A and B are shown apart, each in its own frame.
Chain A
Amino acid sequence: MADLHVKIGDLTLKNPIIPASGVFGYGREYEKYYPLSLLGGIATKGTTGAKRTGNISPRIAETPCGMLNSVGLQNPGIDAFIANELPHLLSCDTVILANIAGATAEECAEVAKKLDSTDVHMIELNISCPNVKQGGAAFGTSCTAAAQVTKAVREATKKPLCVKLSPNVTSITEIAKAVVDAGADAVSLINTLLGMRIDLRTRRPVLHNNMGGLSGAAVFPVAVRMVWQVANAVSVPVIGMGGVMNGEDAAELMMAGASAVEVGTAIVQDPFAPLRIIDGLNQWLDDNGVANAADLTGTVKPW
């Protein structure tokens, strides 16, 4: 059995596997299946200043080896999260990454400030949601805006701050450098790739929001590439995600430069996916004589 512990800055995770924001709610649906303490951490559902009802259905569609979604940040708002969900999550003996979003830098800062007085372990600032009209991806696609919102949140909280990056940009390394310069302690990537499908029969887009975020196995090579580029461009830890479906994918993303790995679409398919991926990674490490998972990070030998 390899030692699965990894570090993201000063935070220690018992293993590198974290359910990604959006697929795992606030954990309640999954603890009926297994103890959340088995997970390296949990990135909670993206939470905004006020309650959001989300987009009209259909919000999901299958694509070859992947899916498109457009939920539109449905969430009960930060006050309800702190009152009703966070205390329980913090009792689950795992690292909690509170994913936050907002329409403006001020809203993001206000949400972060409210979390600052809680015991949450890390804030994951979402500057890359493709499914809301304001904020979201608008922050994530310009270095200036990304730096501005990061700075506002940085000033509002002393919590470790991870900024979740959009892949829908010309140069993800420039955005990563901008948010690190503005005070991010870590970056996580990739959020979904903006996509669209059309029903030929009805000539309607398959999602009511017309466009949505592409995820799943189909995007994994993009994630590996971007994690590798960003890990080489910044000195802070990188949390990798994007189409990780099994333990070998997790190992590959760590080799590319990730210190920990978030898992999204695989959980939509199989609630037990995080456990299967932890086991698969453990097995791979054992089979390859790697004693510590943390030693895998960034060990790719590029040509």
Chain B
Amino acid sequence: MAPSMTCDAAGELIALAALGVLDADDGAVLDRHIAVCARCRASALMAQRTAAALPESLDLLEAPAGLRRRLLTAVYSSAGPVQPRRRTLRDVWRRVPRSRILTALAPLAIGAATVLGVWSLTRTDSAQVETFPVQASTSLPTARGVLTFYVTRSHSVLTVAGVPTPATPGQLPNVYEIWLIPSNGGPKPVAFLSPSPSGGDWTAVVSGDLRGYRTLAATIEPPGGEAKPTGPEIFSIPLS
């Protein structure tokens, strides 16, 4: 198939495409040309790489900390156990032993690997997940929810409903601060509740192993939070 446009005309479209301002119709014509013209394909690759360098010119800004917290809360809340990667024939081939002794043992090895593979693909992580229900306090009897502790990851996701937006005494609103209370010692601040991006629920991600703590609790605190609880408790979660 002959190129559907001249290389000179393609050069103009390539530059526009690299900067993201080529319309779809012209893009289709360009696609047809670079599919059959190695020179223009090379030019397009160069133009694409040059344009990709433009963000490097920016002086980096600090992203808001709340953004990271909200994103991680959403992601950890939606994640199930990490999916096992599908085994490919290449993976199996790599495991075929090359020495004679190992080759003789290959059927046994393959049999054992099959049993192990089936076991690893079919087992669930249910034993690695613990859940704890929210117990509302008299100051916020509508609070309900659950804390899910992913044991192997040492991360927990707290999801709570029935929690209103905290009051705004000044320019900034109060916060819901989360505390872990050990068997011995004072409460440790670990997270803030954030409104879920999908609305309705409030969520928090708590990093670390919950074993060794007897209770998780939430209090209302001034903007920015406190090092020790000062406000009323809105709910608690016994961890035993």
A and B pair up: no
Binding site for A on B (CB under 8 A): none
